[in-house]
Structure 1
């Protein structure tokens, strides 16, 4: 929930890079003498104006009140110390780490990676793997054990053990027991980068050497490689799994009836709108977003979709882990040219393991950007303190030595001074790498070069706010967003969910807002053929039951009528709009491609909902009620001064 809240807030409060020069950055208002300026307000408003759906909030005065309320909440969060929470600090630091990656780019490395990714995207690899788990930061000894175990399994495969049997027996991927390591087909960006690289560089039928990823060591067998099939756009009709009281599969019967109606010439999109239970696509005639190999969680659905050859071709009913489907091919999309794909490739690279390669290339730039100087005498002293016990990982630095070495060793950009004691502590941790560079002075030089690199990057990272104004503003917005989430959770959301007395009192005071529309208990008969529906109507008039009527009219493998039975609220998509609701059998009407009539047994007039029936909406409305009153309370607790003259200038500019 927090991720969606903060992301939404970030989008809402993001800003334009260009700030109008027609108005100086003046104080717009203050809260307890803390100033807030026109520049921030104008940036936020200009960005937000296209995102706001409520036209009333586009009014500058209304938006100013919202902005002021937002700042009041953030100030409240600081006053009660939410910024001191360890969880908050960790989340903010984590986000800063992610955001900073956007500022560590190397265009040459990026271009190489884009070209490589595009070439790989032209192929789809089918592979299986065996995983030996290993922590990403495992000690060298543990790493060696895992590597040797993977190598031992590879040798057994070379001696005749089938890869599938080896995966089932030795792989520590839990899914291997069921799939024998088979990962199916995939293309670029579907796997972590080291795994992908090994897969694309292994010949079909061969097993790779042990490959290290952040999950451990993998043995990868490539079983096939084919040209990328591109992507496909399909529409589908889905019926969720449902069982009848007698245990029979109601959903299978329903999907078969729908399929039969397709065979009789009825339109796919009309059937999808009428009967598909995928709410996200039914109103669009069942059309789904385009997808490629490995992008869906249902292999069955993917394979059926790609098996369709001609536009408008439909599949027979088939079952996935979601329910029963019929799929129709809308369009096949071939692989895009490099020119069209390169921008999306770059975005994906920044979110992928490849970004580490780009980040590493930053080192050379920083060595040119910043100066670094070392005190040679202090370095000589440091080297004299390191002996051959380092190779056995037992070298230690005493506290007395650290105190004595509290002198400057490294200076970065004539600004940051780093003590020799810091490097000695760094050395003590780095001996875990078990490097055997000799003599020991050379080993110290090796780690000192890494130490400089680490500190150059840390120095650069710590100054991103000074280097890039947009980075500074984004971090401030995210910081405030996290604080606001924690504050709202504490002051509003938790209270609105737990305050049952307040909920019920709010419900009683606003009962008119929670009412049922007119509800109709009915059987809805539909058909594309009026004569079939007329036959059904005559049988209803004779008092025949739904099951009898369907059996009588749906014969010889044809589905001539469909019947939906239930309690429908006025305005329900299944109810014909042109029928007046009465406890009777309606006349036959036509809407779109279908003829309808209703056999209505009961009508319930509009009436207030019980508290339990409307509880979800009541809680949501109660939250908004509490929030609105809370802002007024916050205003009473502080001194707010609005510079009305500046606000008028802002209004003129924005208009």
Structure 2
């Protein structure tokens, strides 16, 4: 989302905010009698002042104009009812849920889990396992039986029986019959947390004690461990293939032939970076000799490319040509890097932890704190009545709610000012039948469900009231809410309008044609080789108006690529304009640049002229959008009544300048 582009400096930061909440706030201005206060203005200004590059926006009066314009747009969005849009509501809800994690987590527990996850991610473990199934909520007798069975199998393994044979014979993991329990290599966050912990805490060649997970009991045998392969820096040469493979077979065959020609030149000793600069069709990396930013496994959208890159072992080693979904590549190893540092992976690890079994440790820590924070007083008489209504049919999911729920509608307990009635708990009990709980007798099961229900109600209440407890949280949510509205408003009133208003766009283009000019352009065919004699031969053919394909056919052989060609139209002063190109028809002299010899043929001169609207449509649309936005605030000031309290503003300016 492009919110940071829209807010005119009102950037959003998800960090601890240190604002003076105790300052007395006054009404700074009103829009249609809705007040906006001094504390919000000073807070937003101070938070974003270092991010503002335009010095004029640091001036308080100038910033005030921007701030009023910003609030005018928010009022317009609300007037149009954009705050009722389902997409907006869902996105705001999602953002609040994400931000609330910073306030509903035990930072000490989270930090310890992050450090543990990082340390484990430094290694990859190869392990085998034997699984004895037992339900997570099984009866104690069934749990003990499964545990003892697992212990018996472990004794056999420790006594010398082959672990693989035992896995095939006893493991209740269906895949064990084929893989003999071997799970291959894995790192942190790939297995359920208790299993992962057992794997990382068991020495190579040893077998763990029984490990309980939601699936049952496991025996884990560690076969091997190795270092994580970290990150890699490579350069590459890419020749694009057509996305329409079915209709452009010739184009794709030509791309394959081109990469093979380049590979042949590499084997002949020609420089990788020079070839990448000349022929690679990755326009971002070609000027840098094909150099790409470093990356780790899973960061690229091409598995073939990653495998080729990580498969290289020696610096400056390059791969054979290979195909990805984008085209043909040759990859050269520049450097290998160890796994990222902890501080670089902290956010990524935090997100993984929250989706993992270990998140229960964080949840349990918060629950413990909330149990101390909120004094829960239960109506024991009503609770006893509820327990009496639950029968053993619960275990078979046949238990039904009492016919008259009004008899249970009294207040069961309170979390601060929020009251939870007995009927709500009964409804929760009914849904818990799906969990297949086995706790007996039924009274103990009700107690177990009740405690979880209370814990959940406390957590929900705490989360729902974060804005009251943490002013900084309320501020960030308010800013994000406004940002989403502003984005939707800009899309509706500016961006879409600029794209769809064909008449307005054309009129704007006609009024500003001088902004959209082609410089002089030239059509050039360039032939290059490491051999001067070959380029001299190419020059003779160019003088005879021979095509690029004719030159390559006559000067290259089946086994040796002597010459490469490139034909393009270049604009005067363009960065990629070949050297020695003059804006005059004809063939240049042979010249040398680095390790290569070149010759150019200029076939056409295109004089400077206006770009057509189609040739520069993207830029015209951007400029037209800015034009519309620049005039928009003036129109909003006519639509809404703005009243600035100048006396309060002058007092605020004097205070903020101290």
- Give CA deviations for 1:387-429 in whole Å, capped at 9, x if unaligned: 4443443444457433x4332221224x332222322222232
What residue number does 1:451 align with? 453
Deviation at 1:475, TM superposition (A): 1.0
Q: Superposition pairs for residues 229-628 of structure 1, below 5 Å?
A: 229-241=229-241, 246=250, 249-335=253-339, 343=346, 346-349=349-352, 352-353=355-356, 354-397=358-401, 400-402=404-406, 404-413=407-416, 415-527=417-529, 532-554=534-556, 557-576=559-578, 579-588=581-590, 596-628=598-630
Are 2:205 and 1:227 aligned?
no
Q: Is the 8 A contact 1:16 1:46 kept in 2?
A: no
Q: Is the 8 A contact 2:516 2:611 kept in 1?
A: yes
Return 5+ residue gaps in structure 2 as ranges. Answer: 130-164
Deviation at 1:121, TM superposition (A): 1.6
The whole-number CA distance in structure 2 between the counterparts of 1:561 and 1:651 is 70
The whole-number CA distance in structure 2 between the counterparts of 1:496 and 1:196 is 54
The whole-number CA distance in structure 2 between the counterparts of 1:189 and 1:8 is 38
Q: Is the 8 A contact 1:29 1:36 kept in 2?
A: yes
Q: Superposition pairs for residues 11-90 of structure 1, below 5 Å?
A: 12-14=11-13, 17-19=17-19, 25-52=25-52, 61-90=61-90
Q: Is the 8 A contact 1:192 1:352 kept in 2?
A: no
Q: Is the 8 A contact 2:498 2:621 kept in 1?
A: yes
The whole-number CA distance in structure 2 between the counterparts of 1:407 and 1:595 is 92
Q: Is the 8 A contact 2:241 2:252 kept in 1?
A: no
The structure-2 alpha-carbon separation of the partners of 1:246 and 1:231, relative to structure 1 and needing over 3 Å to count, comes to closer
The structure-2 alpha-carbon separation of the partners of 1:245 and 1:235, relative to structure 1 and needing over 3 Å to count, comes to closer
Deviation at 1:363, TM superposition (A): 0.9
The whole-number CA distance in structure 2 between the counterparts of 1:282 and 1:250 is 20
Deviation at 1:636, TM superposition (A): 0.8
Give the TM-score of the pair, scaled to structure 2: 0.78
Determine helix, strand or coil for the equivalent of 1:374: coil
The structure-2 alpha-carbon separation of the partners of 1:107 and 1:626, relative to structure 1 and needing over 3 Å to count, comes to closer
Give the TM-score of the pair, scaled to structure 1: 0.78
The structure-2 alpha-carbon separation of the partners of 1:625 and 1:264, relative to structure 1 and needing over 3 Å to count, comes to same
What residue number does 1:141 align with? none
> How many residues get paired?
609
Deviation at 1:75, TM superposition (A): 1.2
- Give CA deviations for 1:458-497 in whole Å, capped at 9, x if unaligned: 1110121122222112211221122222222333333333
What residue number does 2:102 align with? 102
Q: Is the 8 A contact 2:113 2:353 kept in 1?
A: no
Deviation at 1:565, TM superposition (A): 1.2
Determine helix, strand or coil for the equivalent of 1:382: helix
Deviation at 1:67, TM superposition (A): 2.9
Q: Is the 8 A contact 2:367 2:459 kept in 1?
A: yes
Determine helix, strand or coil for the equivalent of 1:537: helix
The whole-number CA distance in structure 2 between the counterparts of 1:119 and 1:335 is 11
The structure-2 alpha-carbon separation of the partners of 1:295 and 1:600, relative to structure 1 and needing over 3 Å to count, comes to same
- Give CA deviations for 1:276-311 in whole Å, capped at 9, x if unaligned: 222343343322232334444433322322232232
Return 5+ residue gaps in structure 1 as ranges. Answer: 130-153, 169-181, 214-219
Determine helix, strand or coil for the equivalent of 1:103: coil
Q: Is the 8 A contact 2:353 2:359 kept in 1?
A: yes
Q: Is the 8 A contact 1:393 1:431 kept in 2?
A: yes
Deviation at 1:167, TM superposition (A): 9.5
Determine helix, strand or coil for the equivalent of 1:249: helix
